[in-house]
Amino acid sequence: MLNGVLAGLLTLLPPGLQSKPAPPSSPTRVTQQAPASDVEFRWRDHPQIRSGRLFRLDFLAKFQWDARHPGDDPPDFDDFEIHRARIGIEGEFFNRVQFAIERELTEREVENPNPDVNEKSAWKDVYVDANISDAVQVRAGKFKIPFGLEQLTGISNLDFVYRSLSASYLAPARDIGVALHGRFFDRGLNYWAGWFRHDGDNARSSTMDGAGDTLAVRVTGTPFRSVRGLSKTEISGAFTVSALDNESASPNGLRGRTVMSQFVFYQPVFVKGLRQRYEVDGDWSAGPVGARAEYTHVLDSREGQGLADQDLSDARGRGWYFSGTWVMTGEEKERPVEPKRRFGAVEAVARYERLWFDSAGGEGPLLRNPRANNMLPSGEHVLSLGLNWYITRWVKLQFQTIREEPQDPERTPVAPGEAFWSPVFRFQVGI
Amino acid sequence: MSRWRHLLHLALAVLLFVAASSRAQTQVVLDPTAEFFDGSVLHELRLWINTRDWETLKTNFLSNDYYPADLKWNATTTPNIGIRSRGNGSRSGFKPGLRVDIDHYASGQRFLGLKSFVLRNNTQDPSQMHEWLSMLFFRRMGLPASREAFARLFVNDQYAGLYTIVESVDKSFLTRQFGEDSGYLFDYEYPAAAAPYYFEDRGRNPASYVPLPFKPETNENNSRPEVIADMVQAINASSSAVFRSAVAEFIDLGQFIRHVATEVFLADQDGIVGEWGMNNFFMYRPQFSNLFRLIVWDKSQAFVMGQAYPIWHNITDVPDANRNRLMNRALEYPDLRALYLDTLLEAGRAASEVPVATLPGDTRGWLEREIDRAYALIAPSVLADTLKPYTNDEFVASVEALRVFARERTPFVNADVAASR
């Protein structure tokens, strides 16, 4: 077992520094073989204990350290932080039941002074998945609501230091629920359909309760698998419907914040009724290049939320992004990229995005107050440019600069009409 | 010739009329708020606010959270304003005091040129007049004070009680009062739980004074707090030989003495020389001067100590530690002591002065007449106000106590002054 551990740790080093190159067919896979019935330690993608097909236990750890400086110079901002420190286990029993438990050690939003408001939990994935057949699987517990390509991409595998704004503020993220999912046509079509207790961590804060019962459906297809150059194209669509009650004393709509400094350029508004989210996305890669695009549309009803208790037009949040990546050292575009050179792999990334909020079809003067029928739009355009250096499959350095241009001159952290640049460096280890 | 002279006179008359008219119009244009703060009128203000917000504001009356509302006064409707609960001891979940911020949701929005005003609930004053009368009296004494007027407030078309409209001490006020607004305004805000402060020396560190108890209200990002630290040093550390000149650099001593004397005349227990240290004032200095002037605020506790409130109370009848350092040292100078006594006499004359054009036998002085006038103006609205935290009998009795104060305060003060000479 000790040999297995040492062999596994060696894989964290750049390929050129390892004493013996991994086999070409499976460069970092099985490091030790044992009889199927014995308990053995392995290092596949993670340290692993398994006993043939009886059970498997993977140990996970994710660590991200950031050095950054937001261009809008917020007061009391810490330029250095441990952004993530997560540990977890994943496993499988009898080749039928999978489970995952993951906990964040640096969660910043769990200390909530208001006990009536749902807290963000430091527990991330905590679920059990029963694999009845390829087409029918059931997952229960806390996990990501199936919505949004970028939001469903794990934190270790993001092309950019920060998720897109629409993934961070419009997509729901994790919640407690149960989902039916499966795949058809040799993974050519995947589906998820689930019920969740609320509508995810992204809709909650110390002052926002978020929505209640949530139904979510997502379908993913690879319709061009037989078309050369498009074989790795994945197209998805998703929607959620959530109940918004009127129990929250403070505005319970969604919010918009800047990328790094988290300046709130759009405060939540009062909402009641239904929250509807719609999303379409595409993910393509061919050789060393890849591209992603996503559009998200959220409508919040505002029943009885006017100054005279009248219904207001729906509050609307919209976001889109387009991103492109190029592994300049020639490796296949994967998440993560597996370096094949002595110094690792280097990838150039760029993303342009927009997130904005307004009301859908409201009449009357354009106003900023949280009960305006016709809400003055507020949002921002963001350009992200960067380089990712995959030293190994598990160790990554990211250098990125982000240009943000807020839309509303009165809801901006900088002078009206100005844009600002924010550099960030991230060191990441993920096993 | 005579015909030409008539024509000339006619032309001059027309010219003068036009000039006078345009001047009158100019005055109206220059002060669009005069009608809003006209204290001789009982105003009607209407707010429209989401029912849930109004209930939340009342439930969370200790919170400063803002809620959107529409405001209507006379024919003027101003949408998209922000209101919040306000006050210290007067905060109420039944009849909340309100801060009305016209520009909370739109920075450029104004109401008659105002960025904000206050709706006082007067929950600590059964007469409802302490604040209004005090401000009127301060202005009568030539001291800077907010303009105020009474208003019936309707929230979502339901009567919410009688309130006092109070002019905010802000840039609009500074411009009206001092002709400019680019200087440094500080609100003296002392936490209720903190030990009383008497201008004693807390050292040279500006952070010992700003933002508490002196909270910057203008130039917040560069409030020059060191000037306040220097002022406190001058008050406490300068020798008797240089005290006058050292302090005169920072504070208008004459205005300070007159301010304190006026508060004392009004038997205010919560002012500069109040029962709990200093309280309820702003300080303002122009941009290119270190000379602060005081601006009075919140006089709900005026009159409550009664007409026999001694003129040296909290000045000389308390231990040294509880004496206001500035007042204490200023009164060592005979001319400033004389100014204090003279101002008290002047306040007495201002309060008891009987107008020339008055009915025979009507000996009511100015203060009593104002009380009677206000009572006639507001009594029906107060009596109909079911949200006030006192009975109608208490209201009537409290107004009667004010009348007694108006009659008896001047003789008492005059006697106290005479005994002090």
**Is residue B419 scored above 90 in pLDDT?**
yes
Lowest mean pLDDT among A94-108, A225-239, A392-406, B94-108: A94-108
Inter-chain contact B106–A308, Cβ cutoff 8 Å?
no
* B78 inside 8 A of chain A by CB: no
- Mean local confidence (pLDDT), B92-118: 94
CA-based nearest distance A320→chain B, Å: 27
- Mean local confidence (pLDDT), A257-276: 94
Inter-chain contact B68–A372, Cβ cutoff 8 Å?
yes
Confidence of residue A185 (pLDDT cuts 50, 70, 90): confident
- Residues A411, A409: Cα–Cα separation, whole Å: 6
Interior CA angle at A330 toward A326 and A331, to 5°? 90
By Cβ distance, the residue of A250, A306, A368 closest to B50 is A306
- Percent over 90 (pLDDT), chain B: 85
The one-letter code for the residue type at A75 is P
**For residue B211, is the peptide bond before it cis, meaning its omega torsion is within 30 degrees of 0?**
yes
Determine the pLDDT at residue B323: 96
Q: Give chain A's end-to-end CA distance (angstroms, integer).
A: 18
- Percent over 90 (pLDDT), chain A: 72
**Is residue A36 scored above 60 in pLDDT?**
no
* B154 inside 8 A of chain A by CB: no
Inter-chain contact B106–A370, Cβ cutoff 8 Å?
no
- Considering only CB atoms, which chain A residues are within 8 Å of B105? 367-369, 372
Interface test with B, best of A305, A359, A369 (most B CBs within 10 A): A369
Structural domains in chain A plus CATH codes: 1-51 (no CATH), 53-430 (2.40.160.10)
**For residue A365, is the peptide bond before it cis, meaning its omega torsion is within 30 degrees of 0?**
no
Determine the pLDDT at residue A19: 38
Determine the pLDDT at residue A10: 45
Determine the pLDDT at residue B9: 58
Q: Which of A368-372, B151-155, B286-290 has the highest mean pLDDT?
A: B151-155
Quick: pLDDT tens for B218-228: 999 899 999 99
Inter-chain contact B79–A305, Cβ cutoff 8 Å?
no
Confidence of residue B108 (pLDDT cuts 50, 70, 90): confident
CA-based nearest distance A365→chain B, Å: 9
Nearest CA in chain A to B54: A307
Quick: pLDDT tens for A201-215: 999 887 788 899 999
Determine the pLDDT at residue B31: 83
Question: With a CB-CB cutoff of 8 Å, which residues 187-226 of chain A face chain B?
Answer: none
- Mean local confidence (pLDDT), A214-230: 94
* A249 inside 8 A of chain B by CB: yes
Quote the ipTM score: 0.71
Determine the pLDDT at residue A1: 44
Q: What does the mean pLDDT of chain A come to?
A: 88
Confidence of residue B44 (pLDDT cuts 50, 70, 90): very high
User: Where do we find the tokens 């006026």?
Assistant: B262
- Mean local confidence (pLDDT), B181-188: 97
Q: What residues does A405 pair with on adjacent strands?
A: A381
Q: Which of A42-46, A47-51, A298-302 has the highest mean pLDDT?
A: A298-302
User: Which residues, at least 6 apart from A104, have a Cβ–Cβ distance to it below 8 Å?
Assistant: A84, A85, A86, A122, A123, A124
**Is residue A6 scored above 50 in pLDDT?**
no
Whether the CA torsion A72, A73, A75, A78 is positive or negative: it is positive
Quick: pLDDT tens for B354-395: 988 878 888 999 999 999 999 999 999 999 999 999 999 999
CA-based nearest distance B50→chain A, Å: 4
Determine the pLDDT at residue A115: 43
- Considering only CB atoms, which chain B residues are within 8 Å of A250? 65
Quick: pLDDT tens for B308-352: 999 999 999 999 999 999 999 999 999 999 999 999 999 999 999
Inter-chain contact A250–B82, Cβ cutoff 8 Å?
no
- Considering only CB atoms, which chain A residues are within 8 Å of B211? none
Q: How many CA atoms lie within 13 A of A17 on its CB side?
A: 11
Inter-chain contact B79–A370, Cβ cutoff 8 Å?
no
**Is residue B267 scored above 80 in pLDDT?**
yes
- Percent over 70 (pLDDT), chain A: 88
Determine the pLDDT at residue B198: 96
Confidence of residue A120 (pLDDT cuts 50, 70, 90): low
Confidence of residue A371 (pLDDT cuts 50, 70, 90): very high
Confidence of residue A198 (pLDDT cuts 50, 70, 90): very high
* B216 inside 8 A of chain A by CB: no
Determine the pLDDT at residue A117: 43
**Is residue A5 scored above 60 in pLDDT?**
no
Determine the pLDDT at residue A16: 45
* B389 inside 8 A of chain A by CB: no
Q: CA dist A429 to A9, A215, A426, Å? A: 12, 35, 10
* B93 inside 8 A of chain A by CB: no
Quick: pLDDT tens for B62-85: 999 999 999 999 999 999 899 999
By Cβ distance, the residue of A250, A306, A368 closest to B105 is A368
* B64 inside 8 A of chain A by CB: no
Inter-chain contact A365–B80, Cβ cutoff 8 Å?
yes
Inter-chain contact B80–A370, Cβ cutoff 8 Å?
no
Of residues A361 and A127, the one with the higher pLDDT is A127
Nearest CA in chain B to A304: B50
For chain B, what are the domain ranges? 43-171, 172-336, 351-420
CA-based nearest distance B219→chain A, Å: 17
DSSP string covering B166-195, please?
A: EE-SSHHHHHHHHS---SEEEEE---TTSP
User: Where do we find the tokens 């040292």?
Assistant: B329
Determine the pLDDT at residue A250: 78
Quick: pLDDT tens for A57-112: 999 999 999 999 999 999 889 999 999 999 999 999 988 999 999 999 886 544 44
Determine the pLDDT at residue B10: 56
By Cβ distance, the residue of A307, A367, A368 closest to B50 is A307
**Is residue A7 scored above 70 in pLDDT?**
no
What are the start-end ranges of the H helices in A1-45?
2-10
CA-based nearest distance A358→chain B, Å: 15
Widest CA span of chain B, in angstroms? 84
Nearest CA in chain A to B221: A75
- Considering only CB atoms, which chain A residues are within 8 Å of B104? 369
Quick: pLDDT tens for B8-36: 555 555 555 444 444 444 444 568 899 99
Determine the pLDDT at residue A106: 80
Give which of A378, A372, A358, A249 is closest to B81, Cα–Cα: A372
Give which of A202, A201, A235, A203 is closest to A218, Cα–Cα: A235
Inter-chain contact B68–A307, Cβ cutoff 8 Å?
yes
By Cβ distance, the residue of B51, B59, B105 closest to A369 is B105
Nearest CA in chain B to A246: B52
Chain pair A-B, CB pairs under 8 angstroms: 45
- Considering only CB atoms, which chain A residues are within 8 Å of B52? 246, 270, 309
By Cβ distance, the residue of B59, B80, B156 closest to A369 is B80
Inter-chain contact B48–A307, Cβ cutoff 8 Å?
yes
- Mean local confidence (pLDDT), B185-191: 91
Inter-chain contact A370–B68, Cβ cutoff 8 Å?
yes
